[in-house]
Amino acid sequence: MTALQNATVCVTGANGGLGTAFVQAALDRGAKRVYAAARQAKDWADERVVTVDLDLADRASIERAAARLGDTTILVNNAAIFPHGDLLTAPIEDIESTIETNLVGPIVLTRALAPALRSAHGALLNVGSVLSWFAVGKAHSVSKAGFWMATNAFRLELAADGVQVLGAYLGPTDTPMQAGNDTSGMNKPADVVTAVFDALEAGEHEVLVDDLTKQVKAGLAADVTALYPALAR
Q: Given this model, what pLDDT does residue 181 score?
A: 65
Q: Given this model, what pLDDT does residue 78 score?
A: 98
Q: How far apart, in whole angstroms, are the C-alpha atoms of residue 118 and residue 154?
A: 12
The mean pLDDT value for 16-28 works out to 96
> What number of H helices and E strands is found in the chain?
8, 7
Contact 61, 38 (CB under 8 A): no
Q: Given this model, what pLDDT does residue 174 score?
A: 80
Using pLDDT thresholds of 50, 70 and 90, give the confidence band for residue 204.
Answer: very high
Using pLDDT thresholds of 50, 70 and 90, give the confidence band for residue 179.
Answer: low
Nearest in space to 130 (alpha carbons), one of 192, 183, 201, 55: 192
| CATH number of this structure's domain 8-232, picked from the four choices 3.40.50.720, 3.40.50.1370, 2.60.40.10, 3.40.640.10 | 3.40.50.720
Res 178 pLDDT > 90: no
Q: Which residues pair with 124 in a beta bridge?
A: 75, 165
Pick the range with the lowest mean pLDDT from 38-47, 114-123, 171-180, 206-215. 171-180
Pick the range with the lowest mean pLDDT from 8-12, 175-179, 214-218. 175-179
The mean pLDDT value for 21-33 works out to 98
Contact 193, 21 (CB under 8 A): yes
* pTM for the full predicted model: 0.94
Contact 66, 112 (CB under 8 A): yes
Contact 212, 205 (CB under 8 A): no
Half-sphere exposure of 19 (CA within 13 A, CB side): 26
Q: Given this model, what pLDDT does residue 1 score?
A: 83
